[in-house]
Structure 1
Amino acid sequence: MKTEKIIQPPSGYLTLAIFLLLLIGGIYLFAIRQFAWASAVLVIDFILVLPGLIIVNPNESKVLTLFGKYVGTVKSEGFFWVNPLTTKKKLSLRARNLNGQQLKVNDKMGNPIEIAAVIVWQVKETAKASFAVEDYLQYVNIQSEAAVRHLANSFAYDSLEDENAQITLKDGAEKVNNLLEEELNERLSRAGIEIIEARISHLAYAQEIASAMLQRQQAAAVIAARKLIVEGAVGMVEMALERLSEKEIVKLDEERKAAMVSNLLVVLCGDRNAQPVVNTGTLYN
């Protein structure tokens, strides 16, 4: 695998001046009918001088090869002159966005989900991007999709599916994004690509199970709320019995305590407001 070699060619302004002088000289030789000399001067000017002039814009580079051999990469912005026989390939160093398409995959628990990611990347090593892979743009697209699929297969959608999971796709957020970024850097390092940022942009259950999963989440929320209500009601009943006993307001036998506990739990845990009932008799009648 080629290692990037950064070169600093000479300035192109002196060569441009030589090109213009040779051009003027060739025109002058034509004017005085020295066609052979004029042709030779112009051939040298347009074949050996002019093709060597290159312009490198900010955040761009030129990868140079000579007869199939990698010569080096020019990353400095400016106007330069290089060997005119080299092949010059422009490579952008700017950051790029990859808005991945929505993928339908199975999570760790086998549930079909939809997932997509936004990836910010740039070329870091031009030699690898040019020679290590056939097409580095296509390589980034395919490997990014593979990394997102692998991430989705590695974790459950949420903790309802795997109660022992420390990281889930829905609640993992920053950890999931960091894991995706690390895997992408590992996969794309072969092509000289650096991942600047990777984020999950879309995450949802697949349509065929979305309704069922929504009902399940709602049921889980209701159960959790009921559990909290019951725990609070039991605490309030316990406190009421203790206070009645401490103040000696009324003495309750076990049967009366059971009836009181039942009534209080119905009042505290019921979905509707309790309807008072006036008891004109006794508990035993």
Structure 2
Amino acid sequence: MPPLTYRSTSVLSALKTKSFTFTTTACKSQNPMTTPSDISTIYAPTTLKSRLHNRETLYGLFLLSFSPTLAEIAGLAGYDYVVVDMEHGPGGVSNALSCIHALAATRTPAILRLPENCPTWAKKALDLGPQGIMFPMIQTQKAAEEAVSYCRFPPNGVRGSANTVVRASSYGIDEGYLGNYEDKLLIMCQVESEEGVENAEEIAAVDGVDCVQIGPRDLSFSMGYMGDMGNNKLRETMRVAEKAVLGGGGTYLAGIASPFDRPDDLRRRGYHMVAGGVDVGLFRSATVEDVKRFKMGLMEARL
């Protein structure tokens, strides 16, 4: 009997354009148990990397709170990816794992942003099995090359190996992990300083760098504008960085929206990954507005 194939057609899956293929290998034999080599066939999601290769524009969210509940809500809401932010958020590796579990339950890819560009943080983050990893404050070609090396096992890199027991390889059940992990992992480098902008073209050209994330707020501080996101000089510098990344043609551009750069603005300028905001900021805005409405209602009632 040929394998039975089921493709999800739920509304949520259609909205998120996430394709999942399930193959029932039990039909091939009397034994209903599958073998380790069948795992990648049974559960084969379309990855962020493959969606970018298909020229899709992905919409995401930064998760600063490290709340698994908010992570789950973000996934159910339909975001294409969620960046679990270990650079500025209060959580570490164990907290990030809880968020990854929550996102996995909604079939939403997680990207881990590291606190710094170093092999120890990269190794621990990669072992959790995110679809993407983001290195902050990459300013030179050498730093980008080092970041990539932290993601690759020897002889192509310096990543330490515990692939037989970590989540990234389904705790060793995925026997094909070493053969395909590079194809599935999205490596992102952040350009967020004047020096980084000057070297953006070289950073984007590094073999293994899939995507460059522009960081406008840190860039504004680097230029002396202290978070003045509407500054014309800042915006001009961002355009320089964007053109440098897109000029090579092989590296994708990622960014985060602001009142001065709405998601559609970024999309029109060639961004293929656009984060709409930060969970804490969205919650803050919603709660401040909620309280404001109530207090205004009280004032009106007294008139």
TM range (shorter): under 0.3
**Richer in strand (by share):** 1
Q: TM-score, normalised by structure 1?
A: 0.25
Q: TM-score, normalised by structure 2?
A: 0.24
- In our comparison, the structure showing a higher alpha carbon Rg is 1
